[in-house]
């Protein structure tokens, strides 16, 4: 399984979905473009792919509430609606370049041009804003003493913002309210070195994550996830 899988094959092997969905995850993205493109006014010249067609493949995972990935362990796929566009592009490029090692997302990101990435990222940034209220300027919940000390130790808020949803640079992620199991997997990934199929190379977050035990990373993930933020999963039906 070290070979780069084609996105569709990877879809079939890398994800499991709730039993509530009758369509298999591998079929959903393929079946989606035609009705969606017809229902939404074209935003691109005839012949060019509309943004709805470009995000059709993403919806099969990121548009299904509670959708779980099974690699490298079972966790909910990250919420990307409401995430900042610059960070989405940065993350997609990191998967494409292999700095974020994740076979499914690498396959998907590798198939996207720079134009595709910026169209998709702009779409998801906006997709979250519609109907969402802006979070308060400070964290919506106080951490307990243990978590407060951990947050203090690495000055998390100095980059991710006092409410963890207003990073100091738009290429940094909003993390408030993100799924805790995903946050935990992401934080652990920054500690992994020299593994061909998992791990994240990011100098800043690697140095930070390595200061903590996995138990501490889990406590941080739980707290950050409990905060009100702007991230959402927007099911397909709502924006058809």
By the rule CB under 6 A, 15 interacts with ligand HEC: yes
227, 176 Cβ separation under 8 angstroms = yes
Q: Which of 49, 62, 86, 218 binds ligand HEC (CB under 6 A)?
A: 62
In whole angstroms, give the CA distance from residue 213 to residue 47. Answer: 52
Q: Looking at 11-19, 33-41, 126-134, 137-145, which segment touches ligand HEC (CB under 6 A)?
A: 11-19
By the rule CB under 6 A, 96 interacts with ligand HEC: no
Q: Which of 5, 58, 122, 132 binds ligand HEC (CB under 6 A)?
A: 58
Look up residue 100 and give its two tokens. 């974020």
CB of 136 to ligand HEC, least distance (A): 19
Q: What angle do CA 90, 102, 154 make, to 5 degrees?
A: 60
In whole angstroms, give the CA distance from residue 32 to residue 55. Answer: 10
CA separation, residue 199 to residues 23, 171, 210 (Å): 31, 20, 13
Q: Which residues bind ligand HEC (CB under 6 A)?
A: 11, 14-15, 29, 57-58, 60-62, 69, 77-78, 80, 88, 90-92, 94, 100, 102, 104-105, 108, 120, 154-156, 158-160, 172-173, 175, 178, 183, 185-187, 200, 202, 204-205, 208, 220, 224
């Amino acid at each position: 399984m070290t070979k780069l899988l084609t996105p569709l094959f990877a879809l079939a092997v890398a994800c499991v979905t709730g039993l509530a969905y009758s369509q298999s995850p591998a079929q959903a993205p393929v079946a989606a473009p035609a009705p969606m493109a017809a229902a939404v006014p074209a935003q691109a010249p005839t012949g060019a792919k509309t943004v709805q067609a470009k995000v059709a493949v993403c919806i099969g995972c990121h548009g299904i509430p509670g959708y779980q990935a099974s690699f490298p362990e079972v966790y909910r796929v990250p919420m990307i609606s409401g995430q900042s566009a610059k960070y989405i592009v940065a993350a997609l490029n990191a998967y494409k370049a292999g700095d974020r090692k994740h076979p499914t997302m690498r396959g998907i990101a590798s198939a996207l041009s720079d134009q595709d990435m910026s169209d998709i990222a702009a779409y998801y940034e906006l997709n979250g804003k519609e109907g969402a209220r802006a979070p308060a300027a400070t964290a919506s919940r106080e951490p307990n003493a243990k978590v407060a000390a951990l947050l203090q130790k690495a000055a998390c808020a100095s980059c991710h913002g006092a409410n963890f949803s207003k990073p100091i640079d738009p290429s940094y992620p909003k993390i408030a309210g993100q799924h805790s199991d995903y946050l935990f997997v992401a934080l652990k990934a920054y500690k992994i070195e020299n593994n061909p199929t998992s791990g994240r190379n990011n100098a800043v977050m690697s140095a930070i994550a390595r200061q903590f035990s996995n138990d501490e990373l889990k406590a941080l993930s739980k707290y950050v996830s409990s905060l009100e933020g702007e991230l959402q999963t927007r099911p397909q039906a709502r924006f058809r």
